[in-house]
Amino acid sequence: MLGENANIIAQLKKEILPLQGFKSIKGKENYDLGLGPIRFAFPNSCFPLGAMHEFCCDEKENTAATSGFISGILSRLMKDGATCIWVRTAKTIFPPALKTFGIDPEKIIFVDLKSDKEVLWVMEEALKFDGLAAVIAELRELDFTASRRLQLAVEHSRVTGFIIRIKPKKLNTTACVSRWRISSIRSGSPNDLPGIGFPRWNVELLKVRNGIPGSWQVEWINGKLKPIQKSIAVIPEEQKKTG
Partner 1 sequence: MAKRYVSLWFRHLKTDWLTLRQPQLSNKALVLSTPSHGKMLITATNFLAEKEGIHSGIAVADARAIFPSIEVMDDNPSLPEKLLGKLAEWCIRFSPFVAIDPSADGLIIDASGCSHLWGGDEPYINEIIKRLKDRGYEVRGAMADTIGLACALARFGKEKLIIEPGQNLEAILPLPTASLRVDPEIIVRLHKLGLWQTRDFIKMPRSALRRRFGKDILEKLDEALGFKEEIIKPIQPIQPYQERLPCLEPIVTATGIEIALTRLLESLCTRLQKEGKGIRKASFKSYRVDGKIEEIKIETNRASWHVNHLFKLFEINLSTIEPDLGIELFILEAPIVEDVSSIQETMWNRSSGLENIGLAELLDRLYGKIGSKNIYRYHPDEHYWPERSIKKVFSLAEEPASPWKIDRPRPIQLLSNPEPVEVTAPIPDYPPMLFRYKGKLHKVMKADGPERIEQEWWLSKGEHRDYYSVEDEEGNRYWLFRSGHYSGNKSYQWFLHGFFA
Residues contributing to the site for partner 1 (CB under 8 A):
60-61, 63-65, 67-69, 71, 80-83, 91-101, 105-113, 118, 121-122, 125-126, 129-133, 183-187, 189, 194-197, 199-201, 220, 240, 242-243
112 close to 91: Cβ distance less than 8 angstroms: yes
Spacing of C-alpha 93 from chain mean position:
16
Q: Which is nearer to partner 1, 154 or 174 (CB)?
A: 154
Q: Minimal distance in Å, beta carbon 41 to partner 1?
A: 21
What does residue 92 show for φ and ψ, rounded to 5 degrees?
A: -115, -25
Q: Minimal distance in Å, beta carbon 105 to partner 1?
A: 6
Strands 200-208 and 214-221: antiparallel
Other CB atoms within a 10 A radius of the CB of residue 99 amount to: 13
103 close to 75: Cβ distance less than 8 angstroms: yes
Q: Which is nearer to partner 1, 52 or 182 (CB)?
A: 182
Q: Minimal distance in Å, beta carbon 24 to partner 1?
A: 18
Q: Which is nearer to partner 1, 9 or 196 (CB)?
A: 196
Q: Which is nearer to partner 1, 111 or 206 (CB)?
A: 111
Q: Which residues are registered as beta bridge partners of 160?
A: 134
Q: Minimal distance in Å, beta carbon 109 to partner 1?
A: 6
Kind and range of the H or E element at 12? helix 2-19
Q: Which is nearer to partner 1, 34 or 43 (CB)?
A: 34
